[in-house]
Structure 1
């Protein structure tokens, strides 16, 4: 589908796409050509940062003799940036981090589905590259997670809570890779009834009567739908028995036991989504959040930060807080690429790192590269993300972010660049679904209530964004395999 160029009056809108200095004036080639130049320049910078990393020639090259910083990664399962901002008064710890950390105000998950988005977050690879194209697909063994890489370089690695890099239906246990974690308290969620769910084992031991009330029968692997009364009973547990306070308490115990013989890389995986680890809705990939669970997670994060101080680790620990995907007001939404579903919190607090806000669009595909930069561990060759610390206030980075959704949920792609957002519905002839476009000006319409794709005055901007999306997809093609010969 081609889009007309539009009238002269739309050219001011086209210039609002925030060109970097090398492409600020579209020139005689027109807006579409300038978009291609922009994407090419972004791809060039992206490749230079990713594949010319100093000391990346060997697995542990450059590690010895450098500062070995502790890293704590906090991941929420489903939390939108807008939802976090709207609940700021009820979340003192997260609100404090929004002021005190380096905050990325336009961070996007690569997918509104948790599994694909987490695979990108843990590997630094785009969805078509790592292969986790939807929930229920396991991350291939060929891919390296950040935890694996840091463990191989001497970091003491641990995870408490959700991981979600493999299928977990039928109450399946998700197994970590060999030597990935020195300590693993895995729990996909408070209602996921795997026998290896560490939280449920703890709850049954700590509060057997409460456990028996929530789970009066044995788990049935063929019946993973939890009734409303069961969700309500789990949600009504006292804060001290909640899943997220357990994640915080176990994380604090691991921090308290940490010696000074080497750095640690810890992951606290909070669960605040409404399904709580049970079977998700089939009608939508999105999930609404539980406000009480979020408040419990906020309190647990406060406990973790205080434990860092008590243990003398705060001055040597980098803290990264983000979410696998966003959250929506109604889980059965017919707009899975809306801002609330894919724009997520992303905050970094680290010794020597100035607080501030980055307004340009970034992707959580860049989190892995950022963790390597913080740890000063050379990343694996197979990495597409770029360190976000190179895109601090006032700098120019990639400048755009892509999110994708599989065919079963409408086969969509979203692109954010500057004030503009494009959502492409790719269509499905078998289902009778026609392709189409949606264009939003997020500066003037942050709620995405006015689709400008059919507006004649914005046809030039629509074409520019379509061209940029094509070039962005090309820029994210897999070029991680090194070229070892000229032909």
Structure 2
């Protein structure tokens, strides 16, 4: 392949490797698969009646399907930063896309590399490096540490964000461009004009950014398109890694827009296979001000039209079907390599997609189509045999992934840093609850919604708490939103403004207040370290003599 491939393959030089995995002798590799904008209910194993995903379903049969999993933010950047740090958005501070993750935030790779685990990326992270912080600390972006800090702690085997046709360097993957040129495509930007565009009978390029073209096949063949390409690159990494323990983050950029897919997937799913839209006229009659403002966004107005929704959903389902086929290819490869018996596999998504539900497009608010995600964890150890194929309804958060992986490798718990909970106990049969409620946060200060509502930047905050029945959204400066999913599972009726539900809102607000009071920034010293200290004796040993009457009292303290 081209020089671009070889340069990406090299990656940064890593610390010396060790292979001590404590009691988890089987714990060798982790394959952490993330899709982008995949709704929780668009898999056959999670209930879609017409979209068969047999390969992803097999993962659910081999492991556990966590059916009530919520992201820490319903938008790419902050959600992923929570996935990679194991911390809430208000803890790591990367509250929206392109707001840098500050230097010093520990990530998955920072936890695993000292254990000898090569932690690499193949695909998307949406990471924006803290360039100012790196300059302040004298970290060169091309140094070993600088690369890791800039890439969410991952060794960038190949990064491809695929966000904008001519955006930052990660939107233009030079390795993919080189590959496409080798395939005979001499377009200046084949990612945009080939992989994400169609062509009419006269040879005119039809951009996939325009949703009217979603029913047409992309110019790229299936093999040339992004999902198969990045799958093959993941296989390249696994082949290169050899016997060294590894954790590979395989991060697909689909079914995220542009909504266009190559043949034969482009016309597999006609309107008769689409799930009916979930919305009601009552939602628009007197909506919560923030919800109402989001319904007026361009993308929401577009998806509120049936013909737009119909055109897009066919492509969206096709993209998922292509993903499922590639998961099948990857699992067969893993089997052939003899890796399936000692590799933990995690399959998930960074958030969902409204697709017209609740008069919305995109994501950003907290209805289940946006904030709820699929999560499958396959633990190869014998301790997990009893739970294989089980669908769990325990409340799970995205921040649980890092502590689960760390636990799998036998790492020490670090609850002063990681705010998530390891899922290994659940996978090994512990039926106790992981948590009483899930939290998701959203900073909408970067959106036009804020200016239309006249909200100050500091006040453009939403926080969701969901306890398994009640979904409560605290909206700074506005009344809360409240949904009763036990009696209204489709979340059509907002109870937050009704006097009869004031007590329930107050109860949820107290939970929110207590959650806000957590200690979340003292990450340099654990509760265990602090709790094991005798403050008075420690002060005396270093000569801090406060409150002593005489030398004898000091000597008594030292005894």
Cα 1:449/1:97, change in 2 over 3 Å: same
CA distance, structure 2, for counterparts of residue 425 and residue 215 of structure 1: 38
Deviation at 1:463, TM superposition (A): 2.2
Q: Among 35, 38, 60, which residue is 1:76 paired with? A: 35
Cα 1:229/1:413, change in 2 over 3 Å: closer
- Could you tell me which residue of structure 2 aligns to residue 423 of structure 1? 473
Deviations 1:390-442 (A, max 9, x none): 34562122121111111425521111102111112213xxxxxxx01121111
Q: Among 395, 417, 420, which residue is 1:382 paired with? A: 417
Cα 1:166/1:333, change in 2 over 3 Å: closer
Deviation at 1:198, TM superposition (A): 3.2
CA distance, structure 2, for counterparts of residue 214 and residue 126 of structure 1: 33
Tell me the TM-score normalized by structure 2.
0.65
- Could you tell me which residue of structure 1 aligns to residue 399 of structure 2? 365
Aligned residues: 408
Q: Does 1:162 align with 2:196?
A: no
- Could you tell me which residue of structure 2 aligns to residue 188 of structure 1? 161
Deviation at 1:451, TM superposition (A): 1.7
- Could you tell me which residue of structure 2 aligns to residue 32 of structure 1? none
In 1, are the aligned partners of 2:209 and 2:257 still within 8 Å (CA)? no
CA distance, structure 1, for counterparts of residue 85 and residue 481 of structure 2: 30
Cα 1:209/1:438, change in 2 over 3 Å: same
Cα 1:274/1:349, change in 2 over 3 Å: closer
In 2, are the aligned partners of 1:188 and 1:197 still within 8 Å (CA)? no
In 2, are the aligned partners of 1:120 and 1:126 still within 8 Å (CA)? yes
CA distance, structure 2, for counterparts of residue 284 and residue 481 of structure 1: 44
Q: Secondary structure at the match of 1:82?
A: coil
- Could you tell me which residue of structure 2 aligns to residue 201 of structure 1? 178
- Could you tell me which residue of structure 1 aligns to residue 245 of structure 2? 263
CA distance, structure 2, for counterparts of residue 296 and residue 126 of structure 1: 32
Q: Secondary structure at the match of 2:394?
A: coil
Which range moved further: 266-275 or 81-90?
81-90
In 1, are the aligned partners of 2:32 and 2:250 still within 8 Å (CA)? yes
Deviation at 1:74, TM superposition (A): 0.2
CA distance, structure 2, for counterparts of residue 99 and residue 72 of structure 1: 17
Deviation at 1:107, TM superposition (A): 0.6
Which range moved further: 310-319 or 327-336?
327-336
Q: Secondary structure at the match of 2:399?
A: helix
In 2, are the aligned partners of 1:75 and 1:322 still within 8 Å (CA)? yes
The 5 Å alignment of 1:294-305 reads: 294-305=320-331
In 2, are the aligned partners of 1:252 and 1:304 still within 8 Å (CA)? yes
CA distance, structure 2, for counterparts of residue 407 and residue 339 of structure 1: 18
CA distance, structure 1, for counterparts of residue 363 and residue 339 of structure 2: 45
- Could you tell me which residue of structure 1 aligns to residue 136 of structure 2? none
Structure 1: tracts of 5 or more residues without a match: 1-58, 218-224, 428-434
Tell me the TM-score normalized by structure 1.
0.73
In 2, are the aligned partners of 1:186 and 1:197 still within 8 Å (CA)? no
CA distance, structure 1, for counterparts of residue 317 and residue 250 of structure 2: 19
Deviations 1:174-197 (A, max 9, x none): 964389555611110275543544
Deviation at 1:335, TM superposition (A): 7.0
Deviations 1:242-274 (A, max 9, x none): 1111111111233344422x3111111111244
- Could you tell me which residue of structure 1 aligns to residue 514 of structure 2? 471
Q: Secondary structure at the match of 2:149?
A: coil
Deviations 1:196-231 (A, max 9, x none): 4433332232241577677579xxxxxxx9852898
CA distance, structure 2, for counterparts of residue 245 and residue 151 of structure 1: 29
RMSD: 3.7
